[in-house]
Amino acid sequence: MIIPKTPKLTDAQLEDVTRIVAEFGCRIQVIEGAVQSIYAIVGDERHELLINRVAGLEYIDRVDTIQSPHKLLDIRSELKNHKTVFGGIELGKELLAIAGPCTIDPANPNRFYETAEALKEAGAHALRGGVWKPRTNPYSYQGDNKALDILMEGARRTGLPVNTEVMDEENLKLALDAGVDMLQIGTRNALNYSLLRKVGQAIAGKNTVVLLKRGRHIGPINEFISAAEYIVNFGNPNVMLCPRGTLPSLEGYRNHPDESITPLIKEKTWAPVVVDPSHSVGKSVYVEACSMAAVAYGADGLCIEANIDPTRGLGDDPKQAITPEAFRQLMEKCQAIWNLKSPPESSE
């Protein structure tokens, strides 16, 4: 990983560096951080002569050779200074709240608009809404392109950025063309590297943010971080890691709640952690406690299923969505826990 003395290399400097690393069979991938661009050496970058040649250039500060399975996302990486901003919130500075229905009902656009307005009023910084749905049973409702227009109309009416899950290249293209701000990669695709690659390539150079869910089959932490790194490796560092419960479930909970892995993730990576308590516990009555625990464990944000009328929602909503009023109360409690950890006066 090459760190220049300036925030960015000039075109001529980049050409020089690219030529040098090419002599060693490597190439350069530019990662544009908000504060500092860094230049990843792709290939076997441990060649001593290569490191010395690049480190010796007058405009290079240093070449980091961190030994880590995920060098870019490593807590020691220069990218740790990258600030991810979403929904007007700088991650780590304030608690991010994303909320919305599991699935947008294409036959009832008004329910989504009313939910979106109510959630905005209750303090949500961004909306979620499933357009295309992965399901436990393949014969269940799998989504509808029409819901994408409804999602974007909700964004327009509220002025809030929106999150939706993409499962293939076609979804990805439609979502980006429509202006979706945050792409969700679901737990069932957590290790679908060809999808992660396509997402990484498609968002390079854009402000798009990715919410990567943790694999439900107890994805190890390094594997989770490496999957996120693979997206970042294509140039856009705006990725957030989302614990959402794993299998096997605990009796009574839909999954095995895993918000407690947050500090373990944070020991290894600078990438923000946004917990999804809804899929974790899978029942609306437990969502508040799980959210509070997530914040206590150090989560930077929450992604919560909510609906003005959960009983009439599609997908998971009848089981696990909370109402906007419950969301407001939950956020007040979570904010109080956040303030205990980082009191507002001392956060300057």
Contact 227, 191 (CB under 8 A): yes
- Write the CA distances from 78 to 85, 205, 228, 248, 270, integer angstroms: 18, 19, 16, 37, 10
Least Å distance between CB 103 and Mn ion?
A: 7
Q: Which is nearer to ligand PEP, 43 or 318 (CB)?
A: 318
- How is residue 158 written in tokens? 């509220």
Contact 96, 124 (CB under 8 A): no
Contact 231, 194 (CB under 8 A): no
Q: Does 279 bind ligand PEP (CB under 6 A)?
A: yes
Least Å distance between CB 284 and ligand PEP?
A: 14
Stretch that binds ligand PEP, among 73-81, 169-177, 180-188, 201-209 (CB under 6 A): 180-188
- Write the CA distances from 126 to 86, 160, 210, 303, 305, integer angstroms: 8, 5, 13, 9, 12
How far is it, in rounded angstroms, from Cα 115 to Cα 109? 10
Least Å distance between CB 319 and ligand PEP?
A: 12
Least Å distance between CB 337 and ligand PEP?
A: 23
CA proximity to 307, closest of 295, 318, 294, 321: 321
Q: What is the CA radius of gyration of the chain?
A: 21
How far is it, in rounded angstroms, from Cα 89 to Cα 83? 10
Q: Say which DSSP state 137 is in.
A: S
Q: Does 102 bind Mn ion (CB under 5 A)?
A: yes
Q: Does 254 bind ligand PEP (CB under 6 A)?
A: no
State the number of binding residues for Mn ion (CB under 5 A).
2
Contact of residue 213 among ligand PEP, Mn ion, none (CB under 5-8 Å per partner type) = ligand PEP
Q: Which of 187, 233, 262, 320 binds ligand PEP (CB under 6 A)?
A: 187
Cβ-closest position to ligand PEP: 186
Cβ partners under 8 Å of residue 221, min gap 6: 261, 264, 265, 268
Least Å distance between CB 289 and ligand PEP?
A: 19
CA proximity to 329, closest of 275, 292, 274: 292
Contact of residue 187 among Mn ion, ligand PEP, none (CB under 5-8 Å per partner type) = ligand PEP
Contact 314, 321 (CB under 8 A): no
Q: Name which of residues 313 to 342 contact ligand PEP (CB under 6 A).
A: none
Q: Name which of residues 207 to 236 contact ligand PEP (CB under 6 A).
A: 213
Cβ partners under 8 Å of residue 82, min gap 6: 33, 34, 35, 36, 237, 270
Least Å distance between CB 195 and ligand PEP?
A: 12
Stretch that binds ligand PEP, among 4-12, 75-83, 182-190, 317-325 (CB under 6 A): 182-190
Q: Does 102 bind ligand PEP (CB under 6 A)?
A: yes
Q: Does 134 bind ligand PEP (CB under 6 A)?
A: yes
State the number of binding residues for ligand PEP (CB under 6 A).
10
Q: Does 316 bind Mn ion (CB under 5 A)?
A: yes
Q: Which is nearer to ligand PEP, 295 or 306 (CB)?
A: 306
Q: Which is nearer to ligand PEP, 52 or 142 (CB)?
A: 142
Binding site for ligand PEP (CB under 6 A): 102, 130, 134, 186-188, 213, 244, 276, 279
Positions that interact with Mn ion (CB under 5 A): 102, 316
